Structure 1
Amino acid sequence: MIKRYTIEIVPDQDPENPRDGETNAAQIYIPEWSKYRHFADKGALENLLVEVVPSAQFQALSDEEKELVEEGTSALFRVAGEARAALALPLYLMDHGGIALSTGDFVDSWDSGQVGWVFVTSKRMKEVLVKEEFNKEGRKAASEAIRQEIATFNAYLCGDVWGWVLKSHIYSMESQEWILYDDCEESVWGYYDKEQAEKEAEEAMKSAMSREKQESVFKLKEAEEEYEMALKKAGIPGKVTKETVESLCWFHSTAERARKECEVLFNMAYGGKNDHTEA
């Protein structure tokens, strides 16, 4: 049985929320009064304040004082940046037939605007990005992490998450056509970049074809050896009976048919004349 393959790029119907993991370097802050606050990371503001204000002092603040801190977040992020305690970028949201997030302005005053901030604290920079401080290299790494994480989250919100499915087909000598053998021989999901899904799907296809071709070369060689054995047996001297002749003729025709079928299938699946030296 010789296979050939097709691959399909399909939407991921049940993707994981990329904000649920613990490997994110950036944190999303959206004020509590915003109707979009559910897109924020829990405890984001507190995590930032700990970097700027000693934890004990923050815990000692009254609820009213904490509200004032929240109202002055723009100044807080500026102070955090100057103190090299965090790097922050504005977070913009578009609400028009769906939600979209970006670190760049959508330039649409009707349906979009700044909704919060995205930031990387010095602590997360050391833990996730393995950078010691907000020097030129550290700031660049933090900025790239923020933009990439928001792009990934935006893909999730927009349903722009993909997977690929590898399907195998076998050739029917009876119907003279390729028929589906396995509608999901292999699959991978959770690509937040369609181009990346297409690239890795192509690599998976090449790998599957290479494995199958190697196996097919072996099958073809085995069929040819059986054919040669049939020819040798057909020429064995000695007493020849009617049953022996019939048996040898059957064996010869069966081996010949198997060899031809293997060769036909191999050429149909991979094209060109087979060369045992290549897989």
Structure 2
Amino acid sequence: MATAQQKISVEIVQDSDAENPRKWDNLATMVCAHRRYDLGDESGTREALDLIYENLTDEQLDQIDFDASHVPDIEKALQLTGKAIILPLYLYDHSGITMKTTQFACRWDSGQVGFIFVSKAKVRSEMSWKRLTAERIERVHAMLVGEVTVYDQYLTGDVWGFRVTEDDEETDSCWGFYGSDPLSNGILDHLSSQAKQLVESGNFQRVC
């Protein structure tokens, strides 16, 4: 006689309709420009320009020959304000796209596509910090890298869901888990104890 566990099967399924994480309430803002891809945050350029115009004079902008439509100029001006924490964004475009905050080894199909930033004022407010020490800035860097990692998972299709079937009938499902490892992407928290045991022991099917 089959046990209850044997009657249950779990599929880890690629999510073909994943939500763009840049629609979430993120700490940071992405500013990107690419002739073929719509990347980053819709409000990114406007938010960066607002911070620039609040903190730099026209004379300062003239000195750097500022072009508000040119993303590298926006990044340079934002750095000049001293009011933001910024990391570059690099895109590798070859049979799909992938993004990170450090350069790719292959320079032929990759390059800087923009930057991600957060104002220091927002960090102080969100984190309840009065001072931004070097250690705290490193923590913010890690947060920005984390946001880029999640966005890259979206760009590369590394978003998943699960289906639980019992006696050939689907009994449970959930979607929108970023990252391919079901042991760490949050899927386990949504499974029944029997289904969880199957996944933890590797007894599941991955469907792409």
Q: What TM-score range do you get, normalising by the shorter chain?
A: 0.7 to 0.9
Aligned residue for 1:41? 41
The one-letter code matched in structure 1 to 2:43 is G
* Aligned-CA RMSD value: 3.2
The structure that has the greater radius of gyration is 1
The one-letter code matched in structure 2 to 1:151 is T
- Residue 56 of structure 1 and its aligned partner are, at CA, apart by 11
Structure in which a larger fraction of residues adopt helix: 1
Q: 1:66 to 1:100 in 2, by over 3 A?
A: same
Indicate yes or no: 2:58 matched with 1:72: no
- Residue 204 of structure 1 and its aligned partner are, at CA, apart by 5.0
Q: 1:129 to 1:7 in 2, by over 3 A?
A: farther
Which of the numbers 148, 158, 161 marks the counterpart of 1:160? 158
Matched residue of 2:107: which SS? coil
Q: 1:157 to 1:209 in 2, by over 3 A?
A: closer
Aligned residue for 2:32? 30
Indicate yes or no: 2:14 matched with 1:11: yes
Q: Is the 8 A contact 2:85 2:119 kept in 1?
A: yes
| Distance across 2 between alignment mates of 1:111 and 1:144 | 26
Structure in which a larger fraction of residues adopt strand: 2
- Residue 114 of structure 1 and its aligned partner are, at CA, apart by 1.0
| Distance across 2 between alignment mates of 1:102 and 1:94 | 9
- Residue 122 of structure 1 and its aligned partner are, at CA, apart by 2.1
Indicate yes or no: 2:179 matched with 1:193: yes
The one-letter code matched in structure 1 to 2:18 is P
| Distance across 2 between alignment mates of 1:11 and 1:115 | 27
Aligned residue for 1:51? 51
Q: Which runs of 5+ in 1 are unaligned?
A: 170-179, 211-279
| Distance across 1 between alignment mates of 2:195 and 2:46 | 53
Residues paired across the two proteins, number: 186
Q: Is the 8 A contact 2:49 2:74 kept in 1?
A: no
- Residue 149 of structure 1 and its aligned partner are, at CA, apart by 1.0
Q: 1:133 to 1:86 in 2, by over 3 A?
A: farther
